[in-house]
Structure 1
Amino acid sequence: MNTYALILIILTASTIQATTGFGFAIMSIPFLLLLFDPRDAIQLNIILALIISLMMIYKIRHTVNVRTLKRLILGSLLGTLPGLLIFTMDARPLKVFISVLLMVSTCLLATKVRIKESDRKELLVGVCSGFLTTSIGMPGPPLMIYYAGTNLDKATIRSTTVAYFVFINLISILLQLFLYGSTPIVWEATLISIPFMLLGIILGQFVFVRLNQQHLQKIIYLLLLFTSIYLLLTTMIVP
């Protein structure tokens, strides 16, 4: 395990998560897959994403949209069990799936697809997010695409998303641990990561109140595109 690389990944991902409410898994998973076995990387990501959401939620709980949160949770319950089937895939197809998902998500976000809010769409977003959490530890893309096309304010988006992540990451990791167990390296990496997650949260809160939303979006799009292409190339080239 490359400890310095792990620290850099977690610090960057937690800063983005604290700034936007999204992004921890999206920014961490592609690089964690280069350091760990896919199952270890996914479980580590879910555990850390749960911890960071728990750290954040109390302070921002007052702006949570409870009605939206309930629909996301209900939808996610329909997606979690099918997602566990993807979790058992071989490493290479799993990495290709993640890289393609990131590229598609980035293109949809960059083209600013407009989505009209509705109860049914929020349920569908929950289904997709639940599926992606248990399968690849990445609940964020469906929510990012949906919220990018709505007119909700950034504080409500961030708090509702974080509250949802508390639920879906907890359910996902419990299911994975019950069905597949874990390895010692997952827990060792978790202990190493926690202090740098705390630092990332502090940095992210500092950035949030000074945030230029357009500049941040451009940076995230570039990072998403780079990580997806990099992961795809390394997966296809490395035997």
Structure 2
Amino acid sequence: MEWFTTAPDAPGLHAILALWAVVAISAVFRGFTGFGFAITAVPLLSLVVSPMRAVALATGLQIVGGLVDVRSAARHCHWPSIRWLVCGVVVTSPIGALILTCVSADVARLLVSAACAAAVAALSLGLAFRHMPGAAGTVAMGGLAGLFSGLAAMPGPPAIVYYLASPLSPVQVRSSLIVFFLFAALAAGISLSLTGALGRMEALLALVGLPIMIAGSALGAFLFRRLGGAHRRVSLVTLALVALLTAAKGLAGLL
């Protein structure tokens, strides 16, 4: 702890404790929904540290958390859609990371908020696919997810809309999102490393937060097994709250 608080680029002690609290909350949500880590962690972390560092931390934690869960999730995920989504993400994730280096912190927060709000609106209006989209539509959705992945470590809104609107079962949806987010995080991590955003301090903070990530995800998975019927409703309510909170912070900074 002393090293963290004395290093030149380290957040303060209170900020570190707040970061770990956010990781715990977001990990529980991730374990329950299969997608909720970055979409809750990035907006909340950006209230404590810069959006750039929030994105880097969320990306690092998603990578290590995904590696822990991928073996069990791979048995139930929908692999054909995963492959096409990842193709889109790989192409556009570097573009999103480049945009992140060019916009202000408050503009980045508003973009994150808009992404969450768009996902909530689409799903609340009853968007649903009778059949799984084809390769072209899935690659396009993956490309949109890649932009948000590089920009805010949040491929979530497009991917969430895609899978929650699909005819897949809740177990398949959750497993597919876990596997997809691992690949998306790996792509974003490479992009962020190349831009210098994912550095030594971010990697160490993510490593120290890993036990919290694992424990929170396990608790969320337990809740999913007990309360799986509430999966969609909880997802929408949480997305809406995150959108409102992040928009308020971004607008306050701009005004």
Letter in 2 for 1:44: L
- TM-superposed deviation, 1:6: 1.7
Aligned counterparts, 1:1-239, within 5 A: 1=11, 2-88=15-101, 89-116=103-130, 117-119=132-134, 120-213=136-229, 215-238=230-253
Counterparts of 1:69 and 1:20, CA distance in 2: 17
The 3-state SS of whatever aligns with 2:227 is: coil
- TM-superposed deviation, 1:131: 1.4
Q: Report the TM-score, using the length of structure 1 for normalisation.
A: 0.91
- TM-superposed deviation, 1:211: 2.2
1:129-185: CA deviation from partner (whole Å, max 9, x where unpaired): 111111111011111111221210122222222222222211211121123244454
The 3-state SS of whatever aligns with 2:174 is: helix
| Structure 1 residues not aligned, in runs of 5+ | none
Indicate the percent of aligned positions where both proteins have the same amino acid: 22
Q: 1:223 to 1:160 in 2, by over 3 A?
A: closer
Letter in 2 for 1:16: F
1:175-222: CA deviation from partner (whole Å, max 9, x where unpaired): 211232444542342133111111112102211211233x33323322
Counterparts of 1:234 and 1:175, CA distance in 2: 26
- TM-superposed deviation, 1:30: 0.8
Q: Report the TM-score, using the length of structure 2 for normalisation.
A: 0.86
Tell me if the contact between 1:66 and 1:160 (Cα under 8 Å) persists in the aligned partners.
yes
Tell me if the contact between 1:86 and 1:136 (Cα under 8 Å) persists in the aligned partners.
no
